[in-house]
């Protein structure tokens, strides 16, 4: 139709000449007089031009094209309107499967797949979501998001046997919540949703040594740099005629205990220490130190602050793999002994000079405790210290006649404390008995029944990244956050508040592994940020538990 109109206009223009701007509007009105002579054009007076008086004759059928027909208007698809369907919040989270109610089965056809379900929830309602593989290698991971797409909670392994379990996610508002599931591999899975009007009852794990930090010797990490850290052993290979150089940052008044141990096949390692001015302070080999194969420098006093250099050689010029560690004080490496219950004596043993036993006990603010160490041999002078959850020293004593027993120690804050036992000045070793008791319990102290699982995740942290892991918490919740490095990975951990503010960080509490013991200040979703020391990557296990 538009094409026909253009042809008519061109014909008329050819007949009448180019109209003046004042004649453009009247031209449309006189389209029916196409047969008029040229002398008729000037007679088109204003009285003949009003548009209402221009009644088209039947012969001028193109005239209706002056009014655009609906087909000439832009289609709705070209002009955005309020009636367009908005992109769902979950569109970027995976493939939408449907609404989740009760139990459903699904299948991943690729390792990278993410499936998305929706749940209509009400403010204050509690959801429990469980996922497991249906006789398949699927490794379930569940994340729950709020109606705006913000993560509320995540879990990987809390269900046991590799199953995922989010037990009691409290919904903050009314709306459509999102459940995202992943499996890591292809295979079938089962997903189950349970609703409740109140928090589900969760049985606490009885408080026992197995519920506390792990037991064992701290595994040395591959040497990723040349600066040694307090009680963090490293391992590397010494060339047959080569040497290894490391550095220690020390302050005036520090005592440094340094040890190297041959794994194979080195014959006679030698340690040398130089002060910040480059002057040699001590040189000692394994045969001279008489420390059961270690080359040990015990409690070396520091007279000036700065960087001290440690040189490692092999006098036999054989070389080979070795471990090296240092510590401030009377030891260089830890042996993790686990938890110690109240009024329950336990046996310990410092196997050789320079080692330190680490025990754990939970105490509440306001408690007063007594701690006792009894050595089996009077020649073994044992030192022992109480260390607060933030790493500060609470009290210390020795088993010699000059030592004051720890009979009434006030506990400054609730949390997991360490009891460290070592040979004084790394010069003695032996076996002992350790016990502790309450002198009094704080007025507001509540007996600890055990630990309730909150989150358990095994994941790989890429180099130079710091992934976030969300979990729900309530004001007053006392949580313990542990990150266990796998195959030498040295993790760092930071707890973030619901508003993103940093609350507390940790590093190397349990050997290379960080532990956070913290009382949450408010309700909301908290985040655990995990990275690798020096920007390294590796595999880790994140375990979050709540004290009950």
Token digits of residue 343: 């009024």
Number of domains in the chain: 5
pTM, 2 dp:
0.57
**What band does 421 get if pLDDT is binned at 50, 70 and 90?**
very high
**Among 175-189, 201-215, 232-246, where is mean pLDDT lowest?**
201-215
Same domain, 367 and 405: yes
**Among 150-159, 430-439, 505-514, where is mean pLDDT lowest?**
505-514
Q: Does residue 83 lie within any of the structural domains?
A: no
Same domain, 413 and 345: yes
Cα 262 to Cα 257: distance, rounded to the nearest angstrom: 17
Cα 290 to Cα 352: distance, rounded to the nearest angstrom: 11
Same domain, 418 and 435: yes
Same domain, 457 and 538: yes
Domain assignment of residue 256, given as a range: 233-328
How many residues are recorded in the chain? 548
Angle, vertex CA 397, rays to CA 394 and CA 400, nearest 5: 180
How much is the pLDDT for 337? 83
Same domain, 271 and 338: no
- Averaged pLDDT score across all residues of the chain: 82
Strand arrangement, sheet containing 269-274 = 244-250, 306-314, 269-274, 280-285
Boundary of a domain, candidates 310, 328, 346: 328
How much is the pLDDT for 350? 94
Cα 153 to Cα 511: distance, rounded to the nearest angstrom: 28
Whether 322 and 263 have beta carbons less than 8 Å apart is answered as yes
Same domain, 129 and 61: no
Same domain, 109 and 184: yes
In terms of pLDDT, which residue wins out, 190 or 213? Answer: 190
In terms of pLDDT, which residue wins out, 169 or 447? Answer: 169
Cα 156 to Cα 163: distance, rounded to the nearest angstrom: 7
> Residues near 9 by Cβ (< 8 Å), separated by ≥ 6?
none
Instruction: Measure Cα distances from 266 to 1, 295, 313, 532 in Å.
Output: 97, 12, 10, 31
Whether 89 and 177 have beta carbons less than 8 Å apart is answered as no
In terms of pLDDT, which residue wins out, 263 or 472? Answer: 472
Token digits of residue 35: 């047969």
Percent of the chain residues past pLDDT 90, beyond the cut: 53
- 333-339 and 355-363: which strand pairing? parallel
The CATH number that applies at residue 357 is 2.60.120.380
Q: Does the pLDDT value for residue 347 go beyond 70?
A: yes
* DSSP H/E element including 313: strand 306-314
How much is the pLDDT for 447? 52
Same domain, 318 and 390: no
The 3-state DSSP class for residue 7 equals helix
Q: Does residue 195 lie within any of the structural domains?
A: yes
In terms of pLDDT, which residue wins out, 472 or 53? Answer: 472
Q: Does residue 206 lie within any of the structural domains?
A: no
Boundary of a domain, candidates 78, 98, 130: 78
Cα 359 to Cα 419: distance, rounded to the nearest angstrom: 5
Same domain, 57 and 93: no
Q: Does residue 84 lie within any of the structural domains?
A: no
Strand-pairing partners, residue 194, are: 128
How much is the pLDDT for 362? 83
**What band does 514 get if pLDDT is binned at 50, 70 and 90?**
confident
Return the number of other C-beta atoms located less than 10 Å from residue 344's C-beta.
Answer: 12
Whether 65 and 1 have beta carbons less than 8 Å apart is answered as yes
Q: Does residue 220 lie within any of the structural domains?
A: no
């Amino acid at each position: 139709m538009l094409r026909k109109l253009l042809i008519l206009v061109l014909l008329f223009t050819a007949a009448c000449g180019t109209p003046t701007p004042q004649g453009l509007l009247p031209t449309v009105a006189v389209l029916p007089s196409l047969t008029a002579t040229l002398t008729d054009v000037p007679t088109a007076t204003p009285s003949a031009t009003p548009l209402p008086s221009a009644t088209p004759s039947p012969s001028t059928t193109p005239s209706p094209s002056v009014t655009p027909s609906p087909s000439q208007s832009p289609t709705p698809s070209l002009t955005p309107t309020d009636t367009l369907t908005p992109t769902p919040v979950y569109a970027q989270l995976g493939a939408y499967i449907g609404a989740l109610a009760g139990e459903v089965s699904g299948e991943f056809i690729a390792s990278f797949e993410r499936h998305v379900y929706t749940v209509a929830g009400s403010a204050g309602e509690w959801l429990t979501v469980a996922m497991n593989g249906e006789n398949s290698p699927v490794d379930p991971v569940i994340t729950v998001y709020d109606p705006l797409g913000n993560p509320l909670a995540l879990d990987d392994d809390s269900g046991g046997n590799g199953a995922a379990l989010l037990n009691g996610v409290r919904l903050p508002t009314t709306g459509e919540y999102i459940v995202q599931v992943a499996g890591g591999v292809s295979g079938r899975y089962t997903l189950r949703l349970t609703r409740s009007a109140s928090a589900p009852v969760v049985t606490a794990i009885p408080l026992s040594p197995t519920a506390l930090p792990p037991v064992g010797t701290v595994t040395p990490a591959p040497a990723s740099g040349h600066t040694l850290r307090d009680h963090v052993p490293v391992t590397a290979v010494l060339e047959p005629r080569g040497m290894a150089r490391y550095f220690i940052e020390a302050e005036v008044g520090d005592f440094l205990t340094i040890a190297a141990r041959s794994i194979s096949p080195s014959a006679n390692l030698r340690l040398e220490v130089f002060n910040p001015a480059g002057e040699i302070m001590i040189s000692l080999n394994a045969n001279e130190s008489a420390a059961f194969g270690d080359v040990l420098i015990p409690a070396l006093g520091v007279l000036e602050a700065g960087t001290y250099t440690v040189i490692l050689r092999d006098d036999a010029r054989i070389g080979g793999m070795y471990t090296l560690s240092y510590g401030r004080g009377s030891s260089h490496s830890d042996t993790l002994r686990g938890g110690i219950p109240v009024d329950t004596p336990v046996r310990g043993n410092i196997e050789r000079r320079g080692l330190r036993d680490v025990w754990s006990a939970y105490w509440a603010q306001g408690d007063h405790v007594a701690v006792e160490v009894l050595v089996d041999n009077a020649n073994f002078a044992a030192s022992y210290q109480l260390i607060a959850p933030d790493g500060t020293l609470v009290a210390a004593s020795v088993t010699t006649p000059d030592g004051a027993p720890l009979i009434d120690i006030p506990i400054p804050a609730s949390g997991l404390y360490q009891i460290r036992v070592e040979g004084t000045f790394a010069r003695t070793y032996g076996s002992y008995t350790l016990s502790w008791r309450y002198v009094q319990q704080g007025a507001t102290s509540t007996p600890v029944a055990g630990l309730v699982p909150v989150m358990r995740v095994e994941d790989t942290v890429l180099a130079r990244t710091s992934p976030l892991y969300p979990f729900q918490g309530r004001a007053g919740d006392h949580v313990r956050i542990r990150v266990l490095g796998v195959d030498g990975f040295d993790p760092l951990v930071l707890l973030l508040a619901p508003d993103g503010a940093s609350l507390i960080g940790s590093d190397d509490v349990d050997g290379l592994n960080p532990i956070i013991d913290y009382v949450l200040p408010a309700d909301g979703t908290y985040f655990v940020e995990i990275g690798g020391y020096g920007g390294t990557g590796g595999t880790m296990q994140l375990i979050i538990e709540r004290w009950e």
